[in-house]
C-alpha cells in the first residue's frame, strides 16, 4: 500500500504560470520552422565542402544520432511539461549543478543559432543589395521578433504557422521541380562517401536539428501536452528529414557538390538554395528562393527567441538567476528573458560573425542530447512513482545508452575546437553555480532516489514537485474517471465524527465491492494517515491505499456536516480548516501512476473556488458526485420545459443525436435512479448526467443551456 506523501494539493509558493496557448499545429510549426532555417538554407554549402556529394548522407546520419535524444526529450517533456526544457530535466534528474550547466549552455547555443539565422538573412539579401548595411538590419529584425514574442506564445505560434505555410509552398516547388532536373550521374557520387568527411560533416549539421527540441522549453504553454508534444515533434522530425535528404540531393543533382563547395569565402556557398534555384529557373528562381530563405531564417530566429527566453525564466524560478528573471509579464510571457535574449542576439549580429560558431553550437547540443538520455535513465531508475510520462521512449535502456555514446564519438570526430568550446561552457555553468547559485538553492535531483535504493539518501521534494505537475497537467483520456464517478459510494454524516470511525465505516462499504476485508482496508487508511500520506487541504482529505488484491480503483465520497476530528491520531494532524469532504480511494498496486492521477484530479477540483460551498449545499448522492466531478468532462441538465431542452421530452434515448464521445451516464427522476437504455423515454423533470470529451461537452452546454 502507498505510504508516500502524494502532495497533490496546490504548492504554497507556486510561481506564476504561463498560459496554455499552443495546440498541435503550433507545436509542429515551431519545431519545423525552427529546424528548416539555417540548416537547409545556409549549411548545405558548408556541408558540401566537408562531405562532397555525400552531403545527404551526412544529414541522414545526423538524424539517426539525434533520434535517441529526441525520444528521451519527448518522454521527459510529457512527464514534466514545464518551461526551461533540457535545463529543467537535468536539474530535476541530476541536481542544480548539472541543471545550471545545461541551462547556460543551451541558452547560449540557442542565442548563437538565432544569431546565425539572422546572419543568413544578410547573406541572401546581399545577393541583390550588395551594399546593404546588414548589422543594423539584423538587429532591427531581432528587436521586431522580440516584440512579437512579448505579445505571448499564441501570437508567436500563429506567426510561426503563417511563416511555415509560405515556406512549404516554396520548398515544394524547389524539391518537386528540382527532382525533374537532376543529373543522375551526379547523384551516383552520393553513395561513394569518404568516412571521415561524412562523420565530421554530420557533426556540423547537427545544428540543423536543434529546432526539434525547442518545443520542450515551451511545453508549459502547450494544451494537452501528452498528445500534442509527441505527435507534433515526431511529425516535424519526419518532415525535416525528408526535406533535408531530398533537398540536398536536388542540390547535388542539379548544381554539383564542387560548385557548392567552391565559394569565394573558402568555406562553402552561404546561399546554396539561391545558387541551385538560379540553375533551375534563372534569376526569377533565385529571387523566389531568396524569399523562401528569408521566411525560413526569420521563422528559425522567431522560434529561437521563443525557446531561448524560457531558459532564464526557469532558472530564475529556481533561484539560479536573480528573481527578476523568474517573473511573467502582463501578457503571459517572460518579459525579462525575452529582453535578455534579444539583447544578446543584437550584440552578436552587430559585433561578431557567428557563422564560424555553428559547429561549436552543434557540439554543445550533442552534449545536451547525451545528457537528456542519461536523465531518462536516472528518472526511470529512481522509481519515483510520480514520474509518469505520457510517452515512453522505446527500446529502453539500449536506446539511451546509444544516445549517450554516439554524440561524444561525433564530437571527437569534429575536432579540437568544438571540444574546447564545450568544456568552456561546462566550466562557466559550474562556476556560476558554485559562486552564485549554490547558497541560494536547497534541492537535489532524482539521482538521489537512485542513491536511496543503494542505501544512501533521497530528496522527497522532487516527488512533491512532480505530483504538483501531475495535478496541473490533468487527467488522461484513458483514465477511468467516468466509471469511477458513476460507481462511487457515498457516505453522508450529520454532525462531527472521529476520523477513525469514518475510516471504519468507509472501509466496510468499500469492502462490499472489493475482494479485500474491511479490516485490511481500514488499517491501510489509518496507517497512511498516521505517517502523513493523506493529503489534507482546503477542507478536504484524501486517504488512499494500494493493494495487489484490488483489481481496479474504487472511490467513496464522505460528506461530514460538522467536521472530521483527527485528535485521537495526533494533535499535529489537526488541519487549519475544518475537514468536511473526505475521499477514500482504493486502487491496485500495479498502476501507481493512474492512482496518483486520480488523487491529483480530485485535488484539482477541491482547490477550485466555490467547491466547498457547492459540496455542502448538494442534495443527495447525485449532486454530491456532480459537485466533485463538475468539470469540462461532465454536463448536468434538467428537462425543465424551456428552450432546446423542451424538445427532448418524450424522446427515446436511442433517437437522440448527441456529439461523438458523449455518454448519458445517469438519469435522476424524482427519487428514482434510472439506468439509461436505448428504449428509455425522457420526461419533464428528468435530471441527465452526461460524460464525455471536453469539446463535446462544451458543444452540449452551448446548445442546451440556451433558453432561446
pLDDT in tens, 227-285: 888 999 999 999 999 999 999 999 999 998 888 886 555 566 778 899 999 999 898 88
Q: What is the mean pLDDT of residues 330-348?
A: 81
668 and 616 assigned to the same domain: no
Regarding beta strands 634-638 and 540-541, do their DSSP bridges make them parallel or antiparallel, or are they unpaired? unpaired
Q: What is the pLDDT of residue 622?
A: 74
**Do β-strands 581-588 and 544-547 pair in parallel, antiparallel, or remain unpaired?**
parallel
DSSP string, 232-272: HHHHHHHHHHHHHHHHHHHHHHHT-HHHHH--TTSS--S-H
Asked whether residue 355 carries a pLDDT value surpassing 60, the answer given is no
Domain assignment present for residue 650? The answer is: yes
Buried b vs exposed e over 32-50: b needs ≥16 C-beta within 10 Å? bbbbbbbbbbbbbbbbbbb
In a domain, 16, yes or no: no
CB of 73 closer than 8 Å to CB of 216: yes
Q: Which stretch, 6-15, 82-91, 176-185, 220-229, has highest mean pLDDT?
A: 176-185
**Percent of the chain scoring above 90 in pLDDT:** 18
* CA atoms of 92 and 90, how far apart (whole Å): 6
Q: What is the CATH number of the domain that holds 577?
A: 3.40.930.10
Number of domains composing the chain: 3
Contact 638, 687 (CB under 8 A): yes
Average pLDDT over residues 545-559: 92
Is residue 59 a contact partner of residue 201, using CB atoms and an 8 Å limit?
A: no
CATH number, domain at 313? 1.20.1740.10
| Sign of the four-CA dihedral 195, 196, 202, 205 | negative
CA atoms within 13 A on the CB side of 597: 20
584 falls within a domain: yes
Mean pLDDT calculated for residue range 357-374: 81
Residue range 643-673, pLDDT digits in tens: 888 888 999 988 888 887 788 888 888 878 7
Question: CB-based contacts of 26: which residues, under 8 Å, 6+ apart?
Answer: 153, 154, 157, 158, 160, 161, 222, 232
pTM of the model: 0.66
Q: Is the pLDDT of residue 418 over 80?
A: no
CA 380 to chain centre: 18
Burial string for 251-265 (b: 16+ CB within 10 Å, else e) reads bbbbbbbebbbebee
C-beta separation of 251 from 260 below 8 A: yes
On whether both 28 and 144 belong to a single domain, the answer is yes
Q: Do 643 and 618 fall within a single domain? A: no
Question: Which has the minimum average pLDDT: 474-483, 504-513, 562-571?
Answer: 474-483
Structural domain for 643, as ranges: 632-704
Same domain, 232 and 162: yes
Q: Does 192 score more than 80 pLDDT?
A: no
The three-point CA angle 543-544-546 to 5° equals: 165
Say how many C-beta atoms besides its own lie within 10 A of residue 650's C-beta.
Answer: 11
**Domain final position from 564, 598, 626:** 626
Amino acid at each position: 500500500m502507498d505510504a508516500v506523501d502524494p502532495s497533490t494539493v496546490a504548492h504554497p509558493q507556486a510561481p506564476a504560470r504561463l498560459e496554455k496557448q499552443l495546440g498541435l499545429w503550433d507545436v509542429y510549426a515551431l519545431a519545423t520552422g525552427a529546424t528548416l532555417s539555417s540548416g537547409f538554407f545556409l549549411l548545405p554549402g558548408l556541408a558540401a565542402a566537408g562531405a562532397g556529394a555525400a552531403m545527404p548522407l551526412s544529414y541522414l546520419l545526423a538524424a539517426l544520432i539525434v533520434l535517441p535524444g529526441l525520444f528521451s526529450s519527448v518522454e521527459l517533456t510529457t512527464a514534466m511539461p514545464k518551461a526551461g526544457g533540457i535545463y529543467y530535466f537535468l536539474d530535476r534528474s541530476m541536481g542544480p549543478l548539472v541543471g545550471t550547466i545545461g541551462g547556460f549552455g543551451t541558452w547560449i547555443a540557442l542565442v548563437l543559432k538565432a544569431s546565425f539565422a539572422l546572419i543568413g538573412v544578410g547573406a541572401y539579401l546581399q545577393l541583390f543589395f550588395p551594399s546593404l548595411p546588414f548589422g543594423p538590419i539584423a538587429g532591427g529584425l531581432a528587436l521586431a521578433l522580440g516584440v512579437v514574442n512579448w505579445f505571448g506564445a499564441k501570437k508567436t505560434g500563429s506567426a510561426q504557422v503563417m511563416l511555415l505555410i509560405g515556406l512549404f509552398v516554396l520548398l515544394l516547388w524547389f524539391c518537386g521541380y528540382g527532382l525533374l532536373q537532376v543529373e543522375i550521374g551526379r547523384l551516383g557520387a552520393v553513395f561513394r562517401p569518404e568516412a571521415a568527411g561524412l562523420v565530421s560533416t554530420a557533426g556540423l549539421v547537427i545544428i540543423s536539428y536543434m529546432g526539434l527540441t525547442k518545443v520542450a522549453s515551451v511545453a508549459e504553454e502547450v494544451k494537452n501536452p501528452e498528445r500534442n508534444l509527441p505527435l507534433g515533434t515526431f511529425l516535424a522530425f519526419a518532415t525535416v528529414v525528408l526535406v533535408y535528404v531530398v533537398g540536398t540531393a536536388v542540390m547535388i543533382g542539379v548544381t554539383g557538390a564542387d560548385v557548392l563547395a567552391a565559394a569565394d569565402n573558402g568555406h562553402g556557398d552561404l546561399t546554396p538554395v539561391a545558387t541551385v534555384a538560379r540553375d533551375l529557373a534563372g534569376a526569377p528562381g533565385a529571387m523566389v528562393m531568396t524569399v523562401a530563405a528569408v521566411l525560413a531564417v526569420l521563422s528559425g530566429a522567431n522560434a529561437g527567441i521563443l525557446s531561448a527566453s524560457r531558459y532564464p525564466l526557469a532558472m530564475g524560478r529556481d533561484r539560479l538567476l536573480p528573481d527578476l528573471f523568474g517573473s511573467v509579464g502582463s501578457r503571459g510571457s517572460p518579459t525579462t528573458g525575452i529582453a535578455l535574449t534579444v539583447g544578446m542576439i543584437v550584440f552578436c549580429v552587430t559585433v561578431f560573425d557567428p557563422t564560424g560558431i555553428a559547429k561549436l553550437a552543434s557540439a554543445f547540443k550533442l552534449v545536451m542530447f547525451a545528457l537528456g538520455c542519461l536523465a531518462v535513465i536516472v528518472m526511470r531508475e529512481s522509481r519515483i512513482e510520480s514520474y509518469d510520462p505520457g510517452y515512453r521512449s522505446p527500446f529502453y535502456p539500449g536506446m539511451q545508452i546509444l544516445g549517450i555514446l554516439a554524440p561524444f564519438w561525433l564530437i571527437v570526430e569534429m575536432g579540437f575546437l568544438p571540444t574546447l568550446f564545450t568544456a568552456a561552457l561546462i566550466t562557466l555553468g559550474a562556476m556560476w553555480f558554485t559562486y552564485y547559485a549554490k547558497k541560494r538553492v536547497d534541492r537535489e535531483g532524482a539521482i538521489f532516489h537512485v542513491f536511496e535504493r543503494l542505501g544512501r539518501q533521497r530528496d522527497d521534494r522532487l516527488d512533491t514537485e512532480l505530483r504538483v505537475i501531475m495535478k496541473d497537467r490533468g487527467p488522461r483520456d484513458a483514465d477511468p474517471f467516468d466509471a469511477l464517478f458513476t460507481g462511487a459510494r457515498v457516505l453522508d454524516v450529520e454532525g462531527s465524527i472521529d476520523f477513525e470511525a469514518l475510516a471504519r465505516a468507509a472501509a466496510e462499504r468499500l469492502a462490499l465491492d472489493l475482494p479485500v476485508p474491511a479490516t485490511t482496508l481500514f488499517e491501510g487508511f489509518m496507517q497512511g494517515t498516521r505517517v502523513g500520506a493523506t493529503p489534507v487541504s482546503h477542507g478536504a482529505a484524501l486517504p488512499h491505499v494500494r493493494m495487489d488484491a484490488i483489481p481496479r480503483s474504487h472511490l467513496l465520497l464522505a460528506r461530514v456536516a460538522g467536521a472530521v476530528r483527527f485528535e485521537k491520531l495526533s494533535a499535529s494532524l489537526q488541519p487549519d480548516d475544518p475537514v468536511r469532504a473526505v475521499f477514500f480511494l482504493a486502487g491496485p498496486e500495479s498502476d501507481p501512476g493512474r492512482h496518483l492521477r486520480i488523487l491529483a484530479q480530485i485535488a484539482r477540483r477541491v482547490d477550485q473556488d466555490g467547491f466547498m460551498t457547492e459540496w455542502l449545499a448538494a442534495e443527495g448522492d447525485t449532486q454530491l458526485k456532480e459537485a466533485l466531478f463538475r468539470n469540462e468532462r461532465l454536463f448536468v441538465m434538467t428537462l425543465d420545459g424551456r428552450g432546446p431542452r423542451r424538445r427532448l421530452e418524450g424522446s427515446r434515448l436511442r433517437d437522440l443525436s448527441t456529439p461523438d464521445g458523449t455518454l448519458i451516464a445517469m438519469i435522476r427522476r424524482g427519487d428514482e435512479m434510472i439506468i439509461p437504455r436505448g428504449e428509455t423515454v425522457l420526461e419533464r423533470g428528468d435530471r441527465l448526467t452526461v460524460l464525455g470529451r471536453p469539446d463535446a461537452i462544451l458543444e452540449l452546454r452551448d446548445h442546451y443551456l440556451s433558453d432561446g
